Structure 1
Amino acid sequence: MDRDPAGVDHLVTAVQRMWDVGMRMLRVPYQGHVAEALEAHDRIREAARACDEGLATSEITGERLHLPELLRLRGRYAASLGEEWQPWLERAIAVADEQGTTRLAALATRELTDLS
């Protein structure tokens, strides 16, 4: 698969433009996609920031569907950056359990186990 770095920058810009024009809903999952694209290019600090922006958007909009995945990714990036990562994953598991999304809870649990 071709992973052109310019494509990542286009994605980052497009998601930012969503915010700039007032499009708040559905931005949360796109921030997760941005984070994963940045991670694929070893831009981990930017990936963490994308997760943080998605989490902040979730707080503003109340959109929680993708919250466990953003928290899981944020935990992974925190570990890569030498930051405290366990609380992110524990919260991902708790939110996934609250939502009844067993697949997302399992992914966060596996990430927690892999990093421990």
Structure 2
Amino acid sequence: MIKTERSTLIKGSAAIAISAVLWGVDGVVLTPRLFNLDVGYVVFVLHAFPFLLMHLFFAKQYRFIGRMPKQDVITFLLISLLGGAIGTLAIVKALFLLDFNHLSIVVL
């Protein structure tokens, strides 16, 4: 394996592992504490903080969005809407309805 490929593989694997840990922490620690709030507000907060954090690192890349084919932009937006916003709304609502009793089932 070439050195750069190995480095990329290690970085990607580490990023996936960190994401999984953060998602688990969110489901076990953060979201139950927000139980008394509206589901839409909780989902907004869960998406706003990571967006602002990513904005710090990727702000210079926004100029390339105009170079993307229209079909790719539409696909990107649909994935963001359906997999991000609506998917998170469904997961958080399920957690709230179950009173976090079957947390592992919903998070998995």
TM-score, scaled relative to structure 1: 0.28
Relative contact order: is structure 1 or structure 2 higher (C-alpha 8 Å, sep ≥ 6)?
Answer: 2
TM-score, scaled relative to structure 2: 0.30
Which protein has the larger Cα radius of gyration, Structure 1 or Structure 2?
2
Higher helix share: 2
